[in-house]
Structure 1
Amino acid sequence: MADSDERTPLFRNGFNNEDSNNSENVSTDSSFRIPIYGTTSEQPNLRTVPIEERINYTWSSLNVFTNVDTPQSESHLCFCCKRNPGSRGQKKHLLKNISGLAYPGELLAILGSSGAGKTTLLNALTFRSPKSITVTGTRCVNGTPVNSKALTSQSAYVQQNELFIGSLTVKEHLRFQALVRMDRHISYEQRMKRVNEVITEMTLNKCENTCIGIPGRLKGISGGELKRLSFAAEVLTNPSLMFCDEPTSGLDSFMALNVVQILKNMAHAGKTVICTIHQPSSELYAMFDKLLLMSEGRIAFLGTPEAADLFFRELEAPCPKNYNPADYFIQLLAIVPGNEESCRNAVNMICDKFQRSEPGIQVALDSTMKSSEFLRHQDADVWINGSNGNKSPYKASWCAQFRAVLWRSWLSIIKEPLLVKVRLLQTIMVSLILGAIYYGQVIDQDGVMNINGAIFIFLTNMTFQNVFAVINVFSSELPIFLREHKNGMYRTDVYFLGKTIADIPIFVFLPLLFLSICYYLIGLNTEMPRFFVACGIIVLVANAATSFGYLISCVSSTISMALSIGPPMLIPFLLFGGFFLNIQSIPVYFEWLAYLSWFKYGNEALMINQWENVTNIQCPRGNSTCLRNGHVVLEIYNFKEEHLMIDIISLIGLIVAFRFAAFLALLWKTYIDEE
C-alpha cells in the first residue's frame, strides 16, 4: 500500500481522509445505543438457549457456480438446429472459496454492495440455492457437516418477503405455527403459553387481534409489525441458529432499529444470528458483533467492527471521522460504473490482503478445524445423511397437521368478505333472475324447451361460478405452501385435504340455496322426491366443477395463467353436455372427452329426474309430431331413464378423479421445488 498508484482506487469515492488518523470513530463505539423499548429494563427477555444446545456454524471453501448459456450465432438462425455441445454454457463463479464462522451470542451482519454475493452466500448457507446453482464446500454445525434437513430442524430462516394468510389475526397465525412447528409431545396448553410469551417478547400485544392484512383489500398491521411477526413465528421453537435476509428492507429508521434490536436480543439469549443488512445506519452498525464484508463474491473482511476499522487503517483507507462506517465500507468495495477495472483491482487487493492477514488466516484455520472435527464424532454419518437417519422431518403428527391446516383454511374462508358476502349475493341474484325469466312454466311444447334450457343454465351457472371461485386457491397460495412445506410444517396431502375439505360446506350450501329459490318458481317437477334428487345432482355437479377448478389451480403456477387456461378448457365439456350437440353426434375421436364432461352426466340426470313418468304434456290439437310424454323428450336427447344411477356414480367418480389429479400436480410441484 506504500505505492500511491495502488492506493488511488481506494479513495475513488472522494472521502476526505485528513482526519482519518483520529483515534476512534464515534459510530463504531459499541456503547452507543438508542433505547428501543424505553429503558433497558423494559426490553423483553428472550428465552435463553441452553449451553448444550448452542451452535457454532462454520463454512469452509464454499464455491458457488451457475451456468451461463452462450449459444452460437447459428442457433439463432434456426430454432430446430442442434446446439453445439461445446457451447452449452460456461460456469460463472459467484462465490470464490468463502470460509467463515458464526458463534452463539453474536450477531453476524453480512454487508456489501448490490451484486457482492450476500444473498448468494446466505442461500448457500441455508441450502436454499436455486436448482441452476452448484454449491461446493462444507457447512458444519458444531464441527459436524449437515445437509438441508438436518439444518432445517435446528435453525430458523426469516426471509425478506413476508408471506402470510392475510385474513388471519396475528395471534391466529402464531397459534397455527405453534400447532405444526413445536414438538408433538408438547401439550396444547404449553403451546398457547409459548404463543403468549412470544407475543410479549416481540411487543405484538397491541395488534395480536388485528388481521395481518391483504394489500389493496384488507387493512392490516404495519410493516414493522409484519417484520416482528416474521421473527415471532421463527422463535416459537426457540431455534439455536437464526438466518435473516435483509430484515430492515422497506422499513423506516426507527422500525429498522427496532428489528435489529430484536436480533441483538436473540444473540444475547445465546442464539447464533446471521443476517444480510441493506444500507444500515450508524446506529445499526454499532449493534453488530461481527461484520462480513463482501465484494465480487469474495470476503473482504470478517471480524468485529473495531477490527475492521483497524484493518482498513492499516490499508491506509480509514473511515473518515463522523462518517457511517457501513456506508464507507460498502462504497469502498463497490464496483463503480465507468471505473470497473480500477475498482476490481482495488477489491482484489483488499480481499487478498485480508486472506493473507492474521485475522484472515485465523478464520480459515478455525473454519477448517471445525469442519474436520466430525471425524472424531461417532454420529457423524447421522448428520451427513440426515437428521437421525430416516426420522420424519415433521414435528407434528399427521392428525395434528390436518387439524391445524383445516382450522386455518376454514378461518381464511369465513373471514374473507368477498367469498362470503359477494358469492352469497351472487347466488341469490342469479337464482331470482332465472326464476323471474322462467316463472310458471306450463308443461306444453314451449314449456318443454324452456325447462330444458333452464336445466342446462343450472349446470352452466354451477360450473362457471364454482370453477372461478377456486381457480386461484392453490396458485395464489403456492409460495406460502412451498415455503411452509419446505420448512417441515406439514405434508402435501395434509394441505390439499385441509384446503378442499374446508371448502365443502360452501359448495354444498350455495348450490342448495340456488336451487331452492328457483326450482318452484320455474315450475319444475313438483313430486317431493324429485326436488331432493335434483338438489343432490346439483351439489355433485357443483363439486365436480370445483374439482376441475382445483386441477387447473394446481397445474398453473400463477393466477393469470389459471385464468387464461380455465375458460378454453371448459368449452369442450360444455359442448359435450348434450344440449348444443346430440350425444350421438359426438365424433368418435372425441368420445373419450365426453366421458369426462360433468355437463353430460348432470344434464342427463336432471332431465331424467324432470321427465321420467311424465305423461301429460299438452299438445296443440291436430299436431301429430308433438312431444306427448317425458320418455319422448328423453329420446330426442338420447337419454335413458335407467342411466340415472350411472350418471350419479359418474359424477362422484369425476369428483374423485379430478381431485386426485390435482393432488398429483401439487405433489409434483413440491417434488420439483425440493430438488
Structure 2
Amino acid sequence: MTEQEIHSVVDNIIMEMGLQDCADTKIGNWHLRGISTGEKKRLSIGVETLTNPHILFLDEPTTGLDSASAFFVIRALRNMAYDGKAVICSIHQPSSEVFSLLDDLLLLSAGETVYFGEAKMAVKFFAEAGFPCPTRRNPSDHFLRCINLDFDIIAEALLRYQNICGVPESSSYPVNIKTKEIRETLIQKYKCSELSINTRRRIQEISEEPAIKRNKKINASSWKQFSTLTRRSFVNMHRDIGYYWLRMALYVLISISIGVLFFNIGTDNDTILERAKCVCFAYGFMICLSCGGLPFFIEEMKVFRRERFGGDYGEAVLVLSNFFSSFPYLVAISLLSGTIIYYMVKFHPGFPHHAFFCINLFCCLSVIETCMMIVASLVPNVLMGIGVGTGVIVFMMMASEIFRPVPDLPKIFWRYPVSYISFATWAIQGEYKNEMIGLEFDTFLPGNSKLKGETVLQTVFGVPLSHSKWWDLTALLLLLLTHRLVLYMVLKYKDRIASKFPRLHADKTLQHLAMRVSKAGERLSSFKRHDPQHPLSSQEGLRSPIP
C-alpha cells in the first residue's frame, strides 16, 4: 500500500469509530492526561480493524464505561456489522439502550445454552416459559436474574436474615421460585424449541460443507516491521519522561554525587582501595537504577502480546527493534555518567581509558536492560517484576568484585559458574584493569619504589592478568547477545509451555470461584438493611414469579 492509501484507511476508521474530535490528541499515560476511557475502547477496536478482519471477537468492550460511552462503543460495532463484518462480543449486564442495538443474543449459564436467537425475541421466549419481564425492568437484568445462580445465595442469606430478625412472613423477602429451577426450566424450554432445532440443523449443514481456503494474511516485509516498530518505540521512549528521561536525570545526579565523594582521588597508597570503592559504587548504583524501567517494559510486553497474536510481527523483530530504539538513550546515559565520574574523580588519564570506561558502562547497562526485559516477559504484574528484578540484580552482584574478590568466593556455585555468567563480574574486572594497569602508587614508606597497578590487581583484588580488559569487554558483549537470545526464546515459547498445563490452571480457577461464592454467602448472611416496601415484581405491568 502507498502512503496515501494507508492514511486514507486510517482516516476512514477514525470516522467509523467517531474519533474525529480527538484525532490529534495524545492517548495519555501516567503523567499525561489524554483521551477518555470510552475513546480508548473505540481506539482499541479501530486498531484491530486496520487489517480489515471478517470476524471481530471482543471480550466485555463496555466494562468500566458509563452508559453513554458504552452506547457509543456498541453503536460503532453495529455500524461495522452493517459493513459486512461479523462482530461477536460478551457483555455483562448491558443497559436497555445497548440491548436494543444487539441483533442476536446468546445466554449461557454454567456452560448451558439458555437462549440463542434474535435479541428482540428473547423477551417473548421468557414470557412463554412462564417468566415474563416486568414492564419497567431492563430485559438484560431480568434475563440475568433468571439464569444467574448467585441469586440463590443472596436469597438464602436474606431468608436467614428474615428468620433472625423476625421479619413477618408477609414481607417481600421470600423467593417464590429458586433460580436453579428457573434455569432448568428455561434450558429444557430452549432444547425443545424451534430455535434449538434450527441451530443444530444449521451447524450440521455448515460442518458438511467443504472448507473454504482463505488467503493467508499478507504481512509487511521484515524491514518494514522492524523500521516501523523501532520508530514507534523510539517515539514512546521520547514522549514518556519516566522511560529514560527521568532515569537519565537520576544517573546524572548519582554521577555528580560520586564525583563529589571521590573528587580528585590522586595516586597515594590510601587511594588504592578508594578507587576500587568508587568503581564498585558507580557500577552498583548504575545497575540498580535499571530496575526503574521494569514498569515500562511490562507495558511494552502487553502491547507485544496483543499485536503478536494478531500476526503483526514476530519475536525477533521486537528483540531487535527494542535494542536499536533504546540504543541512543543508553549511549547518552553512558557518556554523561561516564564523563562526569571520570573527570571529577580523575581516573586514569587519557582518552582511550575514558572511552573504555563509557563503552564498558554501556555494555553493562545493555545487558541489565535485556535482563529486565526477560523478567518483564515472565512476570504478570509490576510488583512481582520489581521483586524478581531486584533479586536477579542482587544475585548477580554478589558474585562480582563488589562485595568480595572473586578468588575468595566459595568455589561451588558462587565462583563456578555464577561469577562467570555475572555481567557485573566482567564489567568491574575490565574497569579495574582499565584503571590500574599503567598507574603507579605511592608506598607507605617514603623512598621505596612505586607500587605498580598490575601488582595491586593481582595481590589486593585477585584480578587475573592472563587476559586483557578487551577480553572482559568481549565477554560482556557475548553476555548481551546471550541475553537477547534468551529473551527471544522466552517470548517465543513461554505461551506454548504455559498451554501445556491448562488443567492445573482450571483447577485453581475453580477453587478460587468456590472460595468467592462461600465468602459472598458469609458476608450477606450478616448484612443488615431496611425492609424494602415494594419489590420489583409488584411493579406496574406484567407479574413475574421472580421478586
TM-score by length of 2: 0.79
Displacement of 1:340 in angstroms is: 11
Give the distance between the partners of 2:115 and 2:457, measured in 1 at CA.
Answer: 83
* Residue aligned with 1:302, SS: strand
* Residue aligned with 2:439, SS: coil
Give the distance between the partners of 1:539 and 1:293, measured in 2 at CA.
Answer: 57
Q: Name which of 435, 450, 456 aligns with 2:274.
A: 450
Greater fraction of residues in strand: 1
For 1:194, give the aligned amino acid: V
Deviations 1:357-414 (A, max 9, x none): 23332222222222222xxx3xx3x75xxx56xx5x5622322222222122112211
Displacement of 1:415 in angstroms is: 0.8
Displacement of 1:641 in angstroms is: 7.3
- Counterpart for residue 79 of structure 2: 265
Seen in structure 2, the aligned counterparts of structure 1 residues 289 and 498 have a Cα distance that, compared at 3 Å, is same
Deviations 1:202-249 (A, max 9, x none): 1212212222223x5332211211121122112223323233322222
1:349 has 2:349 as partner: no
- Counterpart for residue 531 of structure 1: 354
- Counterpart for residue 568 of structure 1: 391
Mean Cα deviation higher: 441-450 or 329-338: 329-338
Deviations 1:249-298 (A, max 9, x none): 22222222222221222222222222223222332232222233333433
CA contact (8 A) 1:409 1:502 kept: yes
* Residue aligned with 1:238, SS: coil
- Structure 1 segment 65-144 matched on structure 2, within 5 A: none
CA contact (8 A) 2:360 2:427 kept: yes
CA RMSD of aligned residues (A): 2.7
Give the distance between the partners of 1:274 and 1:519, measured in 2 at CA.
Answer: 61
CA contact (8 A) 1:292 1:303 kept: yes
- Counterpart for residue 321 of structure 1: 135
For 1:366, give the aligned amino acid: R
Greater fraction of residues in helix: 2
- Structure 1 segment 432-471 matched on structure 2, within 5 A: 432-466=256-290, 468-471=291-294
CA contact (8 A) 1:279 1:326 kept: yes
- Counterpart for residue 545 of structure 2: none
CA contact (8 A) 2:145 2:179 kept: no
CA contact (8 A) 1:537 1:606 kept: yes
Q: Name which of 491, 505, 524 aligns with 1:666.
A: 491
Give the distance between the partners of 2:61 and 2:444, measured in 1 at CA.
Answer: 80
Displacement of 1:572 in angstroms is: 4.5
Deviations 1:280-324 (A, max 9, x none): 233223222223333343333333345334434433443333443
Give the distance between the partners of 2:25 and 2:85, measured in 1 at CA.
Answer: 29
For 2:192, give the aligned amino acid: R
Give the distance between the partners of 2:489 and 2:282, measured in 1 at CA.
Answer: 30
Give the distance between the partners of 2:328 and 2:139, measured in 1 at CA.
Answer: 59
* Residue aligned with 2:42, SS: helix
Give the distance between the partners of 2:382 and 2:218, measured in 1 at CA.
Answer: 29
Displacement of 1:506 in angstroms is: 1.3
CA contact (8 A) 1:441 1:522 kept: yes
* Residue aligned with 2:325, SS: helix
- Counterpart for residue 553 of structure 1: 376
TM-score by length of 1: 0.65
Q: Name which of 424, 431, 436 aligns with 1:599.
A: 424
Give the distance between the partners of 1:429 and 1:531, measured in 2 at CA.
Answer: 19
For 1:364, give the aligned amino acid: R
Displacement of 1:623 in angstroms is: 7.2
Displacement of 1:188 in angstroms is: 3.1
Seen in structure 2, the aligned counterparts of structure 1 residues 610 and 370 have a Cα distance that, compared at 3 Å, is closer
Seen in structure 2, the aligned counterparts of structure 1 residues 657 and 341 have a Cα distance that, compared at 3 Å, is farther
- Counterpart for residue 243 of structure 2: 419
- Counterpart for residue 431 of structure 1: 255
Seen in structure 2, the aligned counterparts of structure 1 residues 256 and 613 have a Cα distance that, compared at 3 Å, is closer
Tell me the number of residue pairs that the alignment of Structure 1 and Structure 2 aligns.
Answer: 474
CA contact (8 A) 1:227 1:247 kept: yes
For 2:418, give the aligned amino acid: L
Displacement of 1:545 in angstroms is: 2.8
CA contact (8 A) 2:258 2:341 kept: yes
* Residue aligned with 2:311, SS: coil
- Counterpart for residue 191 of structure 1: 6
Give the distance between the partners of 2:450 and 2:308, measured in 1 at CA.
Answer: 59
1:404 has 2:228 as partner: yes
Which runs of 5 or more residues in structure 2 are unaligned?
A: 157-174, 501-547
- Structure 1 segment 329-344 matched on structure 2, within 5 A: 329-335=143-149, 336-337=151-152, 338=156, 342-344=178-180
- Structure 1 segment 37-436 matched on structure 2, within 5 A: 186-214=1-29, 216-335=30-149, 336-337=151-152, 338=156, 342-373=178-209, 377=210, 380=211, 395-436=219-260
Seen in structure 2, the aligned counterparts of structure 1 residues 576 and 221 have a Cα distance that, compared at 3 Å, is same
- Counterpart for residue 69 of structure 1: none
CA contact (8 A) 2:258 2:282 kept: no
Seen in structure 2, the aligned counterparts of structure 1 residues 588 and 266 have a Cα distance that, compared at 3 Å, is same
Seen in structure 2, the aligned counterparts of structure 1 residues 623 and 598 have a Cα distance that, compared at 3 Å, is farther
Deviations 1:126-180 (A, max 9, x none): xxxxxxxxxxxxxxxxxxxxxxxxxxxxxxxxxxxxxxxxxxxxxxxxxxxxxxx
Seen in structure 2, the aligned counterparts of structure 1 residues 436 and 443 have a Cα distance that, compared at 3 Å, is same
For 2:11, give the aligned amino acid: N
* Residue aligned with 1:210, SS: coil
For 2:20, give the aligned amino acid: N
